[in-house]
Structure 1
Amino acid sequence: MSAPQALIEFFQKEAGEYLDRLDQLLADPAAPDAAAFLASARALRGSATMTRLEGLPDFASTLERIATGLRDQELRWDQRLHFAVRGALVELRQLVDKAAVWADAEQRRARTQSVALASVAAGYLSTSAPAESPTAQVVPISRFFPDDGMPAILQRNPKPAVTLAQRFRSDIAAASDGVAREAAALATSPAGPSQLALTDGVRRALLGLSDVAESYGASSIATLATKMARAPLVNSAERAGVQGFAQLLMDRELSDGHLAAQVKQTNLTWNGAPAPQVAIVSIDSLLYRGHSAVARAREVRDQLKVHWQRGSLAQPEAQSLFEELSDLLDLAVTT
């Protein structure tokens, strides 16, 4: 929904005057007069709000919040921020010129430019210049969200293309690949001084893996990687343990639960605990007979139904299920 054409024309004239004032204030790279900057930016935002052109008030509001931060000494002003604001004024002027023919493209452009400007300004949040403040003050990102009822500039994607869990597995696998390559080079190297450098390479890769794991809160992986990095790594058992650990983390097919269990067991093994003994099970207990064969046949039938619904009955997995179902029919008549 947009304002009447007469109001749009009035807005274009008024906004042009505000933009001219802002251009004058920003002609010098030095920090502009904060009060005058804020007054013009606020007037521009108020004028844009009346147009009801989606995206444009957001863009103007971002400029106003930068002016407010400058006035309240929450923003450091330098050449990069100056260029960003000047560039935003150019974009705003072009968008104002298109107010009469506002469409989805202009709306997206306004929102994109608004987010870009806010992202640049976020790097300049501080109560004092870096020389006076050795540690940067942490300021909530909510400072860059409007408090005047306008829609938020940034929104969380409810269905991100890559989830946090997927990104974790990807980053862990990448870091583990570095460990595996360094460990393989160490394992195949001849004895001599070169092994010292290769061992250091393995340690650095392990510490890098630990940092990645720690950044995701995966303390079990981080702790074990650090333990391995601090080990002598002089015998084949230690080197094989490092390689096995890296290969485990690179296996993207493992479920999260299975991976956690394997990491726990690897930690126990590294600390000297004996590996759990696999119980020997009689082969007779693994065979289906009578009612158990019937029950298993029903499970296979249900799996085949899934393949049929997917149109994947020709796949090798489905063919294997057909063969198993045939065998189960013979076993079902046994006691």
Structure 2
Amino acid sequence: MSASITATVRPVPQVRRLLNDGSTVIAVVTLFVALIAVIFVPRFGTLGNIRALLLSVALTGIAAVGLSLITIVGRIFSLSLASTIALSTIVFAAALPAGPWVALLLATGFGALTGAVQGLIVGKLGTDPIITTIAFAAILLGAGELVTGGLTVSRGGDASVFGTNLFGVLPFQVFVFIIVTAVIAWWHKYTVQGRRLSLIGLNEPAAAVSGLRSWPLVLLAFTLAGTTAGLAGGLLSSQSGQGNLLLGGTFGFDAVTAVVVGGISVNGGSGSPVSAAVGALFVGLLGNVLVLVGFSYETQLVAKGLLVLLAVVLTGIAAASKGGRRR
């Protein structure tokens, strides 16, 4: 009798862990919404629309996966993300005559450099990450205006190599998104430095007492976030061969939305880069469905804003519930 009772009870914690895993929940919701869209939304299931959806998700996802590291380490977000992407498109377009791979490397390197500077300031000097990254966003946009005069940068060159389909079906940018997610997720889960990000985000004072310095890891998180932002900017510019300060658009907000909707706590210490990738897929899916149904751009912004608010509220409730159980 006792053995049967034990067998019955054992699965419950596993189910609870799955329900507490933000990426699992949002993945199930994403699949459900996709199935509903296939049945009820005209043109959603067409090959052309699926390809457009994946392309729109790829760049946001690349940026969101890097941004998630800043959130996990307990530094909330980088609000200079859109500016970094915008400036990276200009770097890519300006360097394109030297070759597409050189241009992509320089755009990615530019993003890494901007991220490293911000990470050094936030990590070493202990400044507020929101204020610091807002200030950096202004610096980047101002510098961009001074250099370009607000004009589109186009120097020629061919970046069509980044517009190809691997194996005839998988867009190159989607392939990059998958690789970036896999590499960063592996690094976060299986390396000492990656796991320490979560430890610092979860309880930085305790980590300090144990001798773990936080600022090098904060620097690393910002550098990787800047790297993925620069990569996203370069790939974005490769679509037209042009760079413009407006190309950053809503990428910053969409990346933040992906991180929050993916179930990564803004308090730090929980979640994974995979959660951000799944969140990006859901955000892209939602936007795609709203467009096909006929909702305006303004309505989409309202929907995304409500989605972020709901995710933050639910995360707060979950955190309070866990705290209550511990007490």
TM-score by length of 1: 0.21
Q: Which has the higher contact order (CA 8 A, sep 6+)?
A: 2
Higher helix share: 2
Larger Rg: 1
TM-score by length of 2: 0.21
